[in-house]
Chain A
Amino acid sequence: MAEVLVLVEHTDGEVKKVTGELLTLAARLGEPSAVFIGSGFDAAKEALAAHGAAKVYVVEDTEVSSYLVAPSAEVLAKLVADSAPAAVLLASTAEGKEIAARLAVKTGSGVITDATDLTADDGVTAEQQVFGGSTIVRSRVTIGTPIVTVRPNSVAAQRSGAAAERIDVAVELSAAAKGARITDRVVEEKGERPELTEAAIVVSGGRGVGSADNFSVIEALADALGAAVGASRAVTDAGWYPHQHQVGQTGKTVSPQLYVAAGISGAIQHRAGMQTSKTIVAINKDPEAPIFELVDYGVIGDLHVVVPALTDKVRARKG
């Protein structure tokens, strides 16, 4: 059975949830092999084994992580040449998509981004939900090695024991791969909250929140639910909440189990980023707000009253 390469997303060996999801999908297509770039493999090994990685190609070279995107694409291109995999899967993050882009050009392969499901029909068939989830498209790569990026939360990660046998890979980076050097990494906020695109629950605030200070109401509900915080464009344009939390067109696309929209009218640009959420709940003063067309449960009311009360009740239930 042919290998399927999965690029591991991790922070110093702490494996992101999406990697387990990718390994689960890879097992449908062939034999999952993980590709681990950076330091911390020992910490990552158990998680990779538990999700079915038979082999792990390890590139510890610190040079690879000192430059933007291009070195990772070179590493994968080398592995594609050496192991002729049935497919390469990456997370549909900004960086994952860019690595996939360069890998596609390097290997002469087609690329599909933002897949929400994969099946082994006629090679590899990827399902995407485009135009804000209004259209479902099934596509196949017809040239080269299928390179597919998959959105976090698309499938449930399954456990299946495997060896996660370490195979060290030496790389000699080309000069071209070392063009863009990362000279600093600045963390502007580091909290206990889950990452927006990976979170099982997202609580988002919109124009109705009214001010930057009032956003604490949204944060409190998010914390009570163990959720990530999102924001509509109106909010980030007004500078009430940081840009990286923006959900929608020109922002993040999220697909959590539960999406709570507070004070968000639900313009098409916002829906484009959250419409595929499994369960949608909204709180809005305006009974005509288009967000109510999407909801599983909606409350017409003042979020400044409903949300704090809900936060208390959630806390009480969770004890």
Chain B
Amino acid sequence: MNIVVCVKQVPDTWSEKKLDASDSTLDRAATDPVMNEMDEYAVEEALKLQEANGGEVTILCMGPDAATETVRKALSMGADKAIHVVDDALHGSDAVATSLALAKAISKAQEAGPVDLVLLGSESSDARMSVVPAMLAERLGLPQLTFAKEVTVDGSTVSIKRLTDDGYQVVTASTPAVVSVVEKINEPRYPSFKGIMAAKKKPVETYGLTDLGVDAGEVGLGGAWSHVASFESAPPRQAGTVVKDENGDGADKLVEFLASKKFV
């Protein structure tokens, strides 16, 4: 079973994120970069499926040169090789353009050999749109198995438990398919020292837009199908009242407050 795992480098979720005033894109220089957490679960799931079914795990990352760190981390966890899509023209790409570049890169990987599963996190912690997996499935014409909290492979059939508001749905498809995972599907492994050393020798292919047959006008800020008209910092919340619970009067004060706002 050959698996391509898409990973994204994002700002650390512990840091405050800001937009760059010059072009309304995320100010990535202002924050520490890390691998998108949900994608770590996808890498782990791919490695587990590989352990059970054999095959190869390929990491696919679109991002600037600095995203090499995220690629290396995924390789040090145990993936076999990687494709890094890097091109200055990609800066500012929206989800639609991102899915185009990723889909082209996956198609290129398919030329080299069959791809049975495309795995990725169900959302990135920076944009939080949760749309790229569905867009990839649409572009590749593959079944979409998204928001998986469990993945089961049986021959050429893949089933997931899709997390819903009140439980889950069982969704089944034939491979190849696009699968997105939620956190808690597994416990991502930490790279071992051996893994980190081995990752340095693993092959990383770098593709630019020309390699993928994507026109620069289709991606980046200029090719985005939606545009930021303006942005501003939200007005700070007005400082509230904080009281200490003394001799059990906290609940009295709180219920008075709720009553004053007509919640009770």
Contacts and interface: CB of A to CB of B under 8 A. Distances in A.
A253 B128 CA distance: 10
A220 B105 CA distance: 52
Nearest to A312: B251
A244 B164 contact: yes
Nearest to B226: A110
A109 interface: yes
A179 B123 contact: no
B228 A139 contact: yes
Interface stretch (A36-44, A164-172, A207-215, A290-298): A290-298
A297 B240 contact: yes
A139 B254 contact: no
Contact of A299 (B125, B135, B233, B250): B250
Nearest to B99: A105
Interface residues on A, range: 35 or more
DSSP majority for the A interface?
mixed
A179 B177 contact: yes
B251 A112 contact: no
B204 to A, nearest CB: 28
B167 interface: yes
A156 interface: no
B172 A306 contact: no
A111 interface: yes
Nearest to A181: B172
Contact of B171 (A113, A181, A250, A295): A181
Contact of B134 (A69, A184, A196, A225): A69
Nearest to A298: B242
Contacts of B232: 135-136
Contacts of A306: 245, 250-251, 254
A253 B123 CA distance: 13
Interface in B109-137: 123, 125, 128-135, 137
Nearest to B162: A68
A303 to B, nearest CB: 10
18 contacts: A73-B138, A97-B129, A101-B95, A112-B226, A113-B131, A139-B228, A179-B143, A180-B144, A183-B159, A183-B171, A189-B166, A196-B165, A297-B240, A297-B257, A300-B250, A301-B244, A313-B255, A318-B264
Interface of A: 68-70, 73, 93-94, 97-102, 104-106, 108-114, 122, 125, 129-131, 133-144, 176, 179-190, 195-197, 201, 225, 236-237, 243-244, 249-250, 253, 257-258, 268-269, 272, 279-281, 283, 287, 292-302, 305-307, 309-310, 312-314, 317-318
Interface of B: 13-14, 16-19, 24, 37-38, 94-96, 99, 123, 125, 128-135, 137-139, 141-147, 149, 159, 161-174, 177, 182-184, 224-234, 237-238, 240-245, 248, 250-255, 257-259, 261, 263-264
